[in-house]
Amino acid sequence: MVQKPSYLASLKKESVVQSVINRLTEGMRRGELKPGDKIPTEPELADSLGVARSSIREAIKILTYLGVLESKRHEGTFVCSGFEESMIDPMVYGIILNQDSFDNLMELREMTEAGLLRLAIKHHDKEEVAELEQRLREMEATLGGTDEEAIKAFFEADDRFHDTISEMGKNAMADKINKVVRTLTYAVRYETVSSMIKQGKGRKLFEAHTVLLDAIKQGNEENLSEKVRETYFETELMERRC
DSSP code for 38: B
Looking at residue 94, its pLDDT comes to 63
Q: What is the tens place of the pLDDT at every residue in 110-151?
A: 999 999 999 999 999 999 999 999 999 999 999 989 999 999
pTM score: 0.66
Looking at the chain, list the stretches that DSSP marks H as alpha helix, in order from N- to C-terminal side: 16-30, 42-49, 53-65, 89-97, 102-123, 126-141, 148-168, 172-184, 186-198, 202-218, 224-229, 234-241
Q: What is the tens place of the pLDDT at every residue in 46-58?
A: 999 999 999 999 9
**Could you give the CA distance from residue 70 to residue 77 in angstroms, rounded to a whole number?**
6
* CATH class given for the domain over 6-84: mainly alpha
- Domain segments of the chain as ranges: 6-84, 89-241
The stretches in the chain having pLDDT less than 70 are 1-4, 6-14, 82-101, 236-242
**Could you give the CA distance from residue 174 to residue 70 in angstroms, rounded to a whole number?**
22
Q: Which residue type does 114 have?
A: A
Looking at residue 13, its pLDDT comes to 45
Looking at residue 150, its pLDDT comes to 92
Q: Tell the burial category of 141 from Cβ atoms under 10 Å away from its Cβ (0-12, 13-18, 19+).
A: exposed
Looking at residue 16, its pLDDT comes to 86
Q: Tell the burial category of 100 from Cβ atoms under 10 Å away from its Cβ (0-12, 13-18, 19+).
A: exposed
Looking at residue 165, its pLDDT comes to 97
Looking at residue 27, its pLDDT comes to 87
* CATH class given for the domain over 89-241: mainly alpha
